[in-house]
Amino acid sequence: MTPAALTEHQAVLTQTQPAELLSHTHAGACAHHEIKLANELPVEGFRLATYTSDSDVDALPMNWGAADPMARGPVVCSWYKDGMAKHNAIGAHAGPYSVYHALAVGSKQLDPSYVADYTNAEPAFKVKEQKQWGDSDKIVSMDPFGHLVPWLFADVGAKNNVDIRPTISITKAHMQMAEMKEAVEKGRLRVDGDVVINSNGDLNVQKIAVEPVWYLPGVAERFGITEAELREALFKDTNGMYPELVTRPDIKVFLPPIGGLTVYIFGDVADLSNPEKKLALRIHDECNGSDVFGSDICTCRPYLIFGIEEAVKEAQNGGVGLVVYFRKEGRALGEVTKYLVYNARKRGGDTAAEYFHRTECIAGVRDMRFQQLMPDVLHWLGITKIDRMLSMSNMKHDAIVEQGIPIIERIPIPDELIPPDSRVEIDAKIHSGYFTTGKVLTKDELKNTVGRTWS
């Protein structure tokens, strides 16, 4: 590419001192000043995107699906140091928190070239390497080596002068929840000094935080679309936030600006991949209103607590318990949409018959959680079957089974745990295909399940 052509791809902007910028913030700013401000961004020679045809791009090799991490290569997703030429992933690290990182850099509280010191940050327990880590059909939405990055690729990062960051971290903790204390007091849980530590109901838990790392061809395949269709949708629907989705078809990895997941393990981690051991699993999608603040309009927190209690019991009975918490607030529609739907429900006559329709009126769809990528973490943990699935969702069930992981038993939330105002939701969901051992209401009967009014 000629220097002239290169310039086309670059926004070469003049240096402006912060004091000069401030001088434009006087009252009554006119359009002229606004334009001048935009042209005086304190960024020099910054490229809006790189192109596959640029003569200087030299992405580090990325062989997604290679079983040997050194053959697979590290995910490089930072433009600092020599990352502009050498990055092999589009997007930014840390999902939505990438914007806070930018604020820290922008406000000059963080040197963008800061090199992290990972001393003593290594995993608190070992997750056994699984053959699924080297299978590009089974894992497409997380980096199977993401927890080992600082130690595996330190030399690669230094030699190539690029920033390589972990996307998974592994730790241990004690959990204290009022409901677990009550479960011990009422005799539902026994203190064993290992999983349930004491009469306060404190739990021993092993935790894994995972940020999303998408292998675009694999993600497209899960959704039954082409890679080009996926790239186009991601590029356009985020208002062009990631131009390299279009300009760098050679780069196959994307770190999306979405929340990740947290794994909570009760019992021996090694038992997760041991088919001889029973596994109880709760897959839970975030619901801040209920999970944290106890709203009674849905069954989220009660089902989560039930899931934790059953996971603990499984571990105590010689098996292993697992809870996976996904950051997909309000069916991945977000909390603003969720409250708008609540209002429409409460003002329009809140019945189970109208439940999904109210969401569809506002969001256009009833759900955006798309469980297709969810089973990746199960593959990563080496899980090959689920004995007790603590979920009624047909979407979660089908996604797991389609990934070749059989589910032996499905366990609905017990009736006595369903909060008063959430009957509307649960009856509507059961009618639409959620698993139940109880009665499925007819369309006419759904009209009789009525939610509370505001007054």
Residues assigned a catalytic role: 367, 369
Work out whether 418 is an interface residue with Zn ion (CB under 5 A): no
**In the sheet that 253-255 helps form, which strands lie side by side, from edge to edge?**
89-91, 253-255, 214-215
* Residue from 77, 208, 283, 287 in contact with Zn ion (CB under 5 A): 287
Strand, coil or helix: 332: helix
Got the DSSP string for 203-225? EEEEEEEE---EEHHHHHHHHTS
Nearer to Zn ion, 122 or 335 (CB): 335
Residue 290 lies near Zn ion (rule: CB under 5 A) = yes
Taking contact as CB under 5 A, which single stretch among the options 22-30, 81-89, 298-306, 317-325 is the one that binds Zn ion?
298-306
Comparing CB distances to Zn ion, the nearer of 149 and 341 is: 341
How many residues make contact with Zn ion (CB under 5 A)?
4
Tell me if 92 contacts Zn ion by CB under 5 A. no
Does 300 engage in binding with Zn ion (CB under 5 A)?
Answer: yes
148 half-sphere exposure, CB direction, 13 A CA radius:
17
- Give whichever of 244 and 286 is closer to Zn ion, judged by the CB atom: 286
Residue burial 243-260, b: 16+ Cβ < 10 Å; e: rest: bbbbbbeebbbbbbbebb
CB of 357 to Zn ion, least distance (A): 18
Tell me: does residue 298 bind Zn ion (CB under 5 A): yes
Grouping H, G, I as helix, E, B as strand and the rest as coil, residue 168 is: strand
Task: Compute the distance between CA of residue 429 and CA of residue 300 in angstroms, rounded to an integer.
Answer: 13
Q: How far is the CB of 418 from Zn ion (least distance, A)?
A: 12
Q: Does 333 bind Zn ion (CB under 5 A)?
A: no
Task: By CB under 5 A, tell whether 203 contacts Zn ion.
Answer: no
Q: Which is nearer to Zn ion, 234 or 287 (CB)?
A: 287
Candidates 114-122, 191-199, 267-275, 284-292: pick the segment binding Zn ion (CB under 5 A): 284-292
Q: Is 322 in the site for Zn ion (CB under 5 A)?
A: no
Q: How far is it, in rounded angstroms, from Cα 35 to Cα 228?
A: 35
Residue 343: CB minimum distance to Zn ion, A: 16
Contact between residue 227 and residue 217 where contact means Cβ atoms under 8 Å apart: yes
In the complex with Zn ion, the residue whose CB is nearer, 286 or 314, is 286
Q: How far apart are the first and last CA of the chain?
A: 68
| Short-list 345, 347, 363, CA closest to 355 | 345
Minimum Å gap between C-beta 377 and Zn ion is: 21
Q: Which two tokens stand for residue 85?
A: 């030429």
Residues forming contacts to Zn ion in the complex (CB under 5 A) are 287, 290, 298, 300
